[in-house]
Amino acid sequence: MDAVSCFEKKTDDTIAFVDLKRQHEECATDIETVVQSVLARGAFILGEEVRKFEQEFAAVCGARHCVGVGSGLDALFLAMKGLGISAGDEVILPANTFIATALAVTHTGATPVLVDHDPHSWNIDPRRIRQAVTSRTRAIIPVHLYGRPADMDAIVAIAEELNLDVIEDACQAHGAAYRGRCVGSIGRAAAFSFYPGKNLGAAGDAGAVVTNDAELAEWLRRARNYGSHVKYHHGMLGFNSRLDNLQAAILRAKLPHLARWNERRRLIAEQYREGLRDLPIHLPEEAADSQHVFHLFVIRCEGRDAMLNFLKSRHIDAGIHYPVPIHHQPAYADGCVTRGPLTYTEMFADHLLSLPIHPHLTDGEVQRVIAAVHEFCEARGAVYKVVQRSRRDVLPTVASRPADSAALAPTGAPQP
């Protein structure tokens, strides 16, 4: 989740982590028109805008159904409830994700089982999933983290073999594609968040479930609305989690910009890759078979906190996604299990740094970020030389990855 403070402009020349003011300037006329129209009609709950947005967003995802709900957390939670996931079940997810992925599992009564990610894609490692499966496992949640699609072919193959559901957490990956297929259309269901700072963001909280499963979509339409299809008739114990008409209208006004904004994010990522490639930092690897949408541009570096502070001193907002893995959060002191070593999750948490990559950054601002990172690395040159010599101990390369036989051996009982 992007901190709200990121949205506040601190000084005139601050490079904001997310700049919703500039985004609004680009679509202000369209948004003001549709907002006025909804206000004038006085139709706020489950109206025409919601229905149209659901159709349009389903089409963007290449899926048959979209059901708008209150948030990304609700989308994950309701999708799992609709699939019958409940107490006694286990759901496997990556340890490095926003806490909402785990919370959604917990709120169904099931247990989140955290596994490590792959050090190249930084997405959930399918081999770790296979190891973590028990007779209680019901589903897998691959998170398309930072906007890069997870290894869906391998994940779907495991799920089909073991009869598990796949619920994509696409909250950071609007418009991303994996081997020619849009994320959101690959698993049994997918959850999207339209939190304001997302690649497609509302003017408040909002989310959606996307699915090809007509029965699940029908269940979700009732579940989000007090379990009701006909007013005051309740066939099930439902919830109140409706995408509201104003948010849907705003999302419809922004949706035509999504592809271009994502393209701009990719161009900025290219500039970062080019400008930072000689420095002793790890850059996100190319995803040859997928379309990354760079919700975040996350690097790995030594002296992360010092770099963060240095960038701040240069009026550049950066972030950390995420500083504390879920299993170290006090909220999850006893509520989740980890399976298999979390080598990369543990090792990366202190080294991750997200550079600003919103689509309204100017080329000049991107160059300012690159120059500041250079300046920082040059100032710490001596330290970096030491780090580079001992890099195998500090930042694992593929070669230093534990051999499959050892690292992927059966793990036995869940670790607390």
Ligand X SMILES: Cc1ncc(COP(=O)(O)O)c(C=O)c1O
Q: Does 345 bind ligand X (CB under 6 A)?
A: no
DSSP 3-state of 352: strand
Q: Does 96 bind ligand X (CB under 6 A)?
A: no
- Selected binder of ligand X within 96, 172, 290, 338 (CB under 6 A): 172
Contact between 98 and ligand X per CB under 6 A: yes
Judged by CB under 6 A, the residue of 171, 243, 246, 336 near ligand X is: 171
Give CA–CA dist 82/266, Å, rounded.
35
Q: Does 302 bind ligand X (CB under 6 A)?
A: no
Alpha carbons 309 and 146: distance in angstroms, whole number: 22
CB atoms within 10 A of CB 115: 26
Q: Which is nearer to ligand X, 81 or 380 (CB)?
A: 81
207 counts as binding ligand X under rule CB under 6 A? yes
Establish if 168 lies at the interface with ligand X (CB under 6 A).
Answer: no
In 263-345 the beta strands, taken as DSSP E runs, fall at: 290-291, 297-300, 337-338
With contacts defined by CB under 6 A, name the span among 69-77, 122-130, 284-292, 387-395 that binds ligand X: 69-77
195 contributes a contact to ligand X by CB under 6 A: yes
Beta-carbon contacts of residue 400 (< 8 Å; ≥ 6 apart): 392
Cβ distance to ligand X smaller for residue 83 or 276: 83
Interface mask toward ligand X for 127-156; x: CB under 6 A: ----------------x-------------
Distance between CA atoms of residues 271 and 292, nearest Å: 15
* Cβ proximity to ligand X, 293 vs 372, nearer residue: 293
Tell me if 100 contacts ligand X by CB under 6 A: yes
Q: Compare residues 326 and 355 and give the one whose CB is closer to ligand X.
A: 326
Task: Examine residue 72 and tell whether it contacts ligand X (CB under 6 A).
Answer: yes
Dihedral-angle region of residue 287 (phi above 0 means left; psi in -120 to 50 means alpha; beta otherwise): beta
The half-sphere exposure of 182 on its side-chain side, counting CA atoms within 13 A, is 19
Q: For residue 35, count CB atoms less than 10 angstroms from its CB and return exposed for 0-12, middle for 13-18, buried for 19 or more.
A: middle
Is residue 384 near ligand X by the rule CB under 6 A? no
Q: How far apart are CA 400 and CA 45, in angstroms?
A: 55
* 3-class secondary-structure state, position 184: coil
Which residue stretch of 18-26, 93-101, 178-186, 244-252 sits at the interface with ligand X (rule: CB under 6 A)? 93-101
Under the rule (CB under 6 A), what is the footprint of ligand X?
1, 71-73, 97-98, 100-101, 143, 169, 171-172, 193, 195, 205, 207
